[in-house]
Structure 1
Amino acid sequence: MSKDGKVTALAAVALLLSSLSLGGCATSTAGSSLMDARAETPAPPKTSVYLPVEDLPPKREKPAMTADERSKLQKELIAARDRQASGGKAKGGAAPPQSIKP
């Protein structure tokens, strides 16, 4: 065999071995197409646990508390605080801290 024949035979053997080894890496597409693979993937969930950042709650038709309700609640809280303060003094507890009114 000549030198060129040996090189050609060696190249043919190398080509055959590389094609066989790369053939093992290929996936079989018999009976399916790339579009079928996409159709088989599960759909992403439609709803999320968290609200999207850009979604804002709708505007309220009326305020949460009217001015009358707010003043009534404030008076009730002040009265409850005063009752607690007087109860602590009667039992000999420490003096309550002075409240700072705005």
Structure 2
Amino acid sequence: MLALRDLQKTRLVCGALLIVALGLAGCTSQIADLTPADTQAHPKDPSTYLPVHDLPPARDEAVIPPDKRAKIEAELAAARDRQAVAAKDAK
């Protein structure tokens, strides 16, 4: 019986050591090595705020031309009307 208890204690101690070793190994990973190379450096003065007032450059042309925009809006309105009719029919 004594050998069985010693074996159980040995397994318990080895398991605890393995868990501690894995836990400590996880803490040693370098977060800086995981970031992409093209990220911006942190500001030297941490009390400065981000430049939220800077706007992106204005575009000279519309993202979607007006004629295509009108066509898309008409298609969406037609789809909405079809769904409304289908919902009334389902009731």
Q: Could you tell me the TM-score, scaled by structure 1's length?
A: 0.39
The answer to which structure, 1 or 2, has the higher relative contact order (CA under 8 A, 6+ apart) is: 1
* Between structures 1 and 2, the one with greater helix share: 2
Q: Could you tell me the TM-score, scaled by structure 2's length?
A: 0.43
